[in-house]
Structure 1
Amino acid sequence: MSYEPPTPPASLPTEIVNTLNESTPERLRDVATYAEELAEHREREARLEKPADQDEVEEQPDDLPDDVPSKATITIKEINDNRYYYWQWREGEKIKSKYKGPVDSEN
């Protein structure tokens, strides 16, 4: 690891860079965790809002539970350093989730 501070991406506003530079390591780790979770949330929202191509036929997963709609996607949640799969789908304005199982650490 270099003894020089990292160079911020040019796309980051100066105000954010200054705030981060003044933050403690603990706060920086909290910001990093939040930013990663927020990015995953927004990507998931974009996938759920994207209209399905009618010409494209997707295979139905073999392990899709009866109470989970076919439009559901699988997402990974990290809880207390453990990772789990969840089915997620949109019902109106709400996002619904159903537990699928733990993420195998060997995959």
Structure 2
Amino acid sequence: MTLTHDERWEIVWAMPEWKEHDRLVELSNEHFDRMFGLIDAMWAIPARTEAGRKSKVLVLLACVLDLRGHDDELDYRDLLGRRLLIEFVGGEAAASLRESFAA
């Protein structure tokens, strides 16, 4: 017996694991909504110092682009993009960012 696409999904949606997944996703929505609100507020503040640029780059890498892995864990494009962002930070702040992502 072959199930249709809809029939397979009905089985999945009836599973307790799926219901728990939905519950956890719903709980996380409040966290992410608040996080995105804070990110929007942060973008409105100009970054005039190395520390300010570093903070914005860290938020971009960790929360928006999800590029938190070590250098050897990223594909080539993501690695180059992260290196360019870190270069824009400049100074000692950039050096500390480079160290934090080194393998």
Category of TM-score, reference length = shorter chain: 0.3 to 0.5
More strand as a share of residues: 1
TM-score, normalised to structure 2's length?
0.33
Given the two structures, how large is their TM-score scaled by the length of structure 1? 0.32
